[in-house]
Amino acid sequence: MNKAGLIVAAGMLLCVLCLSRFAVAEICPAVACDCGSLPKSEWKATCQDYELAIKKKCAANNDRPVDYCSIHGPSARPLPLAVKLADIAVMNPDEIKQLHMGMEQVYKTAHWDLKRFKAMISTVYFKEGLAIAKELDSNIDSMFSTQRTVAVGWHVEGKDRQAIAAWKNYSEQSELLANSLADYADQLWQKHNVEVDASAKKGYKVIAFKTWRMAGKVYEMAAYAYSGAEKNQKAAQTWAKGANVAQALLNAKREINAKASHINYFQHQAASRLHRASYYFSLDGKGEQALSTLAQANDISPSKELLALIELEDASEAEELTNL
């Protein structure tokens, strides 16, 4: 084939590849696992294969997703994560500064609400305690939305250093709040396990689950914030702490023989948080930790497509070995 023919053939192949990718994207647009953002080619390939599989399931279900992305990039959907990244408004510098200055009080209020919550539960006022927990949960959502508004606002103004500093402050404070919530949830579950009164036992169960869910959400917030502060290793570690919370919830659900749908959801949630942890470990150059975390995700996930990826990476590392 002459040079002109080769150019035409290459162009035709490129068109086929582009059309193929476009066709995949058009299958159930509600599923998009952001595979291109992953740092390793093997991860991208595994992600793309699984994305296509769940897109086909989605298409067969009238374009309604029936499964979550497995290994994924940071903009993937759908995911069983607690934090939702809603659209935010861009504000002027004075408004941004005012919002940022108010965050200290927002955290103080959150810790005060947690204190009130604990006091109510200590007197076995479960219904009133749950009302406080719901209020706290709503305030947590508003807190994260405000943080994103501040950070995006600083970036738009070209003040990247202020945005990074703000995220650093938010990350540390959110992690402290998440630690308090997670510890308290563990205590509540211990009370549930030893409680003999059926009504009180149910109360501790409901409150423990609610508190674990809030803890997991705040760990996600802290991990997002660490990433915004350019602290990839801390982001990874905090995603892993969020995965531990999901694992605790999963274990508790299994103990009470919860519905299969509940078990499935928290398996996916724990695995998704570990996938995020492995992503940030990889970005930070921590290859062994990234692979180890990926293996943990595979142990938890109801989807076992990661096993082949882990074996592939193990084999790749083995090929790099040399005799001493």
DSSP 119-148: HHHHTT-HHHHHHHHHHHHHHHHHHHHHHH
Q: Give the pLDDT confidence score for residue 256 in this predicted structure.
A: 94
Tell me the percentage of the chain whose pLDDT exceeds 70.
85
| Mean pLDDT (whole number) for 7-30 | 53
Tokens encoding 281: 């470990």
- Give residue 148's identity as a one-letter amino acid code: R
Task: Give the residue with greater pLDDT, 263 vs 184.
Answer: 184
Rounded Cα gap, residues 167 and 223, in angstroms:
10
pLDDT at 322: 41
Tell whether the model's pLDDT for residue 9 goes beyond 60: no
How many angstroms separate the CA atoms of 200 and 205, rounded? 9
Confidence at residue 15, expressed as pLDDT on a 0 to 100 scale? 45
Q: Above 60 in pLDDT, residue 33?
A: yes
Query: Which of 279, 210, 219, 212 lies closest to 38, judged by CA?
Result: 279
* Direct distance between the N- and C-terminal alpha carbons of the chain, in angstroms, rounded to an integer: 49
Distance CA 27, CA 4 (A): 35
Q: Is the full-model pTM beyond 0.75? A: yes
Asked if residue 184 lies in contact with residue 213, where contact means CB atoms within 8 angstroms, the answer is no
Measured on CA atoms in the order 44, 70, 56, 49, is the torsion positive or negative? positive
Q: How far is CA 208 from the centre of its chain?
A: 20
Decide if pLDDT at 23 tops 70.
no
| Dihedral sign from CA coordinates of 186, 190, 191, 195 | positive
Helices (H), 77-125: 93-122
Mean pLDDT score, 84-113: 90
pLDDT at 19: 37
Name the more confident of 262 and 87: 262
pLDDT at site 85: 81
What is the DSSP secondary structure assignment for residue 25, as one 8-state letter? H
Q: Band of the pLDDT at 42, cuts 50, 70, 90?
A: confident
SS3 75: coil
Q: How far is CA 21 from CA 26, 41, 51, 147, 235, in A?
A: 9, 16, 12, 35, 31
Per-residue pLDDT band for 220 (boundaries 50, 70, 90) equals: very high
**pLDDT computed for residue 89 by the predictor:** 81
The residue written with tokens 């006091």 in the block is 119
77: phi then psi, degrees, rounded to nearest 5: -155, 145
Element (H, E) at 300: helix 287-300
Least confident of 77-86, 182-191, 284-293: 77-86
**Of residues 10 and 107, more confidently modeled:** 107
| pLDDT bracket for residue 17 (50, 70, 90) | very low
pLDDT (mean) for 16-31: 59
Arithmetic mean of pLDDT over the chain: 87
Kindly state the tokens that stand for 232.
């990839």
> Confidence band (pLDDT; 50, 70, 90) for 313?
low
Rounded-to-integer distance, Cα 55 and Cα 74, Å: 18
Residue type, position 247, single letter: Q
320 pLDDT higher than 70: no
